[in-house]
Every structure is written in C-alpha cells, then in structure tokens.
C-alpha cells in the first residue's frame, strides 16, 4: 500500500498519535488512525515508539525532597490562616460601605438643600456648591480607597516572597 489510509497523511498521522495520548481522538479520527497504522509500517513504528517512551517516563523515579509534602501543607495552612485573618476586615469594609451608601442616599436631598442654602447665602458660585455635593457623595469611597492603598502598600514586600 502507499502508506496513506483513506487519505491520511504521515504528518497528520503523527499529529494524531500525539493528540491521542494528550487530548484523545474522536471515533472517526481513531478509526482513520488505526487504519493508517495497520497499513503504514513507518507510522506504526512511531506510534509504538511514542507508547514506549511514555511508559518509560511513567516508570522513571523522580527524586523529591523528603519534607516536600510537609512544607507544602505548612504553606497552605499559613496562607489559609492569612486569608481568615483578613476576612473579618473585608466584612467590616463591606458593611461600612453599605452603611455609607445607605446614609448617603437617605441624606442626599437634605445635604443638597443645605449646600444650596449655604451657597446662596455666601453668594458662592453655583458650580462650587454643586461640586461640594459631589465631593460629599464621593468622600466615603475616597477614604476607603486611601485606606486600602495604605494597607496594600504596607503589605507589598510580603507579596514578593
């Protein structure tokens, strides 16, 4: 035979031999490959060589440090503890954010009227007291952002380890 089962080329057969070991093949691909391997001695030898190489790799001993499992467990526990210690702080941040937005939504009309009264009484430009309202509304988010930046800046050297 020509070595091409149903139009399967040697290059495609080699790809499928590797794909079969890693991803698996569809039924049709498996059938075409089997047909090709039964007709093509060169590709059949490559498939056998690949299978033998994989078997050899599976039986090859790999040296690992004796305490690798213990050290890995220690690191995992350490990281879990770190996350547990941080969790209550995040709950507080979320609660404070929710309370802040709720308080802001409830008091917004009063603050708006108060700043409007203050602006007209002090003869301040309308844009100034309107921008003051925007700053008042954004202030909790700004404060939370600054706190988070300070907290992360203090922890930056630890994350590089």
Q: Domain boundaries in the chain?
A: 5-59, 84-155
Q: How far apart are CA 30 and CA 14, in angstroms?
A: 13
pLDDT for residue 82:
83
pLDDT for residue 3:
42
Helices (runs of H) and strands (runs of E) counted in the chain: 5, 0
Q: How far apart are CA 86 and CA 63, in angstroms?
A: 37
Mean pLDDT on 134-161: 72
| pTM exceeds 0.85 for this model | no
> What are 17's two structure tokens?
């031999």
> What are 85's two structure tokens?
């210690």
* Residue 1: pLDDT band with limits 50, 70, 90: very low
Q: How far apart are CA 88 and CA 94, in angstroms?
A: 10
Q: Residue 42: pLDDT above 50?
A: yes
């Amino acid at each position: 035979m020509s070595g091409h089962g149903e139009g399967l080329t040697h290059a495609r057969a080699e790809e499928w031999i590797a794909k079969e070991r890693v991803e698996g093949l569809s039924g049709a691909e498996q059938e075409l490959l089997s047909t090709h391997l039964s007709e093509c001695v060169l590709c059949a030898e490559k498939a056998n060589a690949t299978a033998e190489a994989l078997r050899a790799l599976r039986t090859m001993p790999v040296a690992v440090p004796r305490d690798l499992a213990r050290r890995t467990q220690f690191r995992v526990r350490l990281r879990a503890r770190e996350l547990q210690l941080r969790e209550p702080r995040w709950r507080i941040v979320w609660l404070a954010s929710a309370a802040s937005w709720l308080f802001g939504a409830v008091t917004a009309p009063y603050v708006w009227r108060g700043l409007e009264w203050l602006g007209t009484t002090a003869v301040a430009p309308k844009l100034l007291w309107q921008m003051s309202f925007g700053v008042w509304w954004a202030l909790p988010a700004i404060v939370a952002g600054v706190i988070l930046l300070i907290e992360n800046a203090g922890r930056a050297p630890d994350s590089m380890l």
